[in-house]
Amino acid sequence: MDSERILVVLCILVITLLFCSRSVLAGDIVHEDDIAPKKPGCENSFVLVKVHTLIDNVEGKEFVGVGARFGTTMASKEKHANHSKLVLSDPPDCCSPPKNKLTGEVILVHRGNCTFTTKANIAETAGASAILIVNYKKELYKMVCEANETDLQIQIPAVMLPQDAGSILEDSLNGNSSVAVQLYSPQRPLVDIAEVFLWLMAVGTILCASYWSAWSARGAAIEQDKLLKDASDDYLNMEDTSATGVVDINTTSAVLFVVIASCFLVMLYKLMSYAFVELLVVLFCIGGVEGLQTCLVALLSRISFRWFKRAGESFIKVPFFGAVSHLTLAVSPFCIAFAVIWAVFRRVSFAWIGQDILGIALIVTVLQIVRVPNLKVGTVLLSCAFLYDIFWVFVSKSFFSESVMIVVARGDNSGEDGIPMLLKIPRMFDPWGGYSIIGFGDILLPGLIIAFTLRYDWLSKKSLRAGYFLWAMMAYGLGLLITYVALNLMDGHGQPALLYIVPFTLGTLLTLAKQRGDLDILWGRGEPERICPHIHLQPSQRESI
């Protein structure tokens, strides 16, 4: 069963890299249309706006828009905001005076054919109390002023709505329904408790996975020493089999890993659909079942109940899977049922709990199976992921007119609310709701090198302070914390966490190893030299070592 398990987990590992940059989003995606300097009449701070609706005097949906850099500001509390009737603009683009006379209504217009300020000036002159501009895409854009504009004394609020929200409102108006809207902009808290829990979740996952990996490595080393002590010369000449079920990454596979992920990302971007997201859900469930099963079997095997130990040590041959322990067969139905129930109910409000459980189990399992053998491979892997993250989040806009990573991670054109390869927690005290999230890759990829440091520390018998694991964990935690700070400073824009985590983690390890004189060992061999006193080597054998 080891080969099948490794294949499944490696496939999931490639997919997790695709989404390592959609980190710690606040639930809203806001892009800038143009970069324009502030000037008198066009110097508002960009704020999110709630658009509460009443359709035929019945509570309707509440939409989220973004306020323009021009126009007047809105109330911050719902009780201070007025209900105003909503009307459609005729012509729809509001680039010329509307045919219908306005007396304080809010006017709904389409984006395009003239500047935002032109639309707002025309709407204000016609008697509108506010203007809602419907974007031609799903996301929101910040409305700015052109460099040569002068007529900027606009005295009504201007708000942009995403395409889907505008379509719903327009359909209601075309169906002769009476629609009223209420515009207000509640302030978002600087820090939400969800971000604290997500930080603890990411750090705790790496901590648990690292200790499990180190325990396994130390146990394997002890077992190998015992075998070597009584082994014959024929055994000494056999290949090492202690690493069965463990995959060591090399520099070539680290580079290919990122190249393959990039190709798959472009394919998803070009062919994104409902079917693709469903395929990702299936793959996530397969990986989640394998991860949850592995974690449960390992945990139950260590419980001092005699039945669990016997069930974990007795095996039965299963077609296609090979030898499987009775304990694995016992927990498998539960794991499968858990994943299926999550997949069926993944759109309900509390489904994030099941997604996080499956995700953490998958990450811990991958960090147990896949390992970096030395600091050189870890540096190549994280450096490639660092460049991958930056390119597909920021640089790809120059080639594809939009951020490929964000579009794919958000699941545009798929009919689904994003992809499952991330951990998320609902924002608890944020009036805007949404989730704080972090991609699997932002935990898993740094986790590979952090787990390596703990294995090295234990095998070299270093104390926590004299070793490298403690400093690597602190560097990762600080890098992730800086990501949250950057997120809040960037008005909720998604930030690629590896942009901050990789320099902190790698920089700390390389600098510390250089100062301590361990860089050559960490970079090359990756583990301390272990000489068995009971093995007497010939001079030629010592030279080969």
Determine how many CB atoms are found less than 10 A away from the CB of residue 7. 11
CB 56 within 8 A of CB 474: no
Determine how many CB atoms are found less than 10 A away from the CB of residue 400. 14
CB 71 within 8 A of CB 157: yes
The distance of Cα 47 from the centroid of its chain, to the nearest Å, equals: 24
* SS3 (DSSP) at 63: strand
Out of 192, 412, 430, 442, pick the active-site residue. 442
CA distances from 435 to 13, 407, 418, 423, 497 (A): 23, 17, 12, 10, 16
Query: Does 389 participate in catalysis according to the annotation?
Result: yes
Give the containing element (helix H, strand E) for 65.
strand 58-67
d(CA 78, CA 18): 40
d(CA 103, CA 110): 20
d(CA 376, CA 252): 11
CB crowding 276-293: b at 16 or more within 10 Å, else e: bbeebbebbbbbbbbbbb
The residues near 522 (Cβ < 8 Å, ≥ 6 apart) are: 374, 375, 456, 468, 509, 513
Out of 389, 412, 430, 457, pick the active-site residue. 389
Active site (catalytic) residues: 389, 442
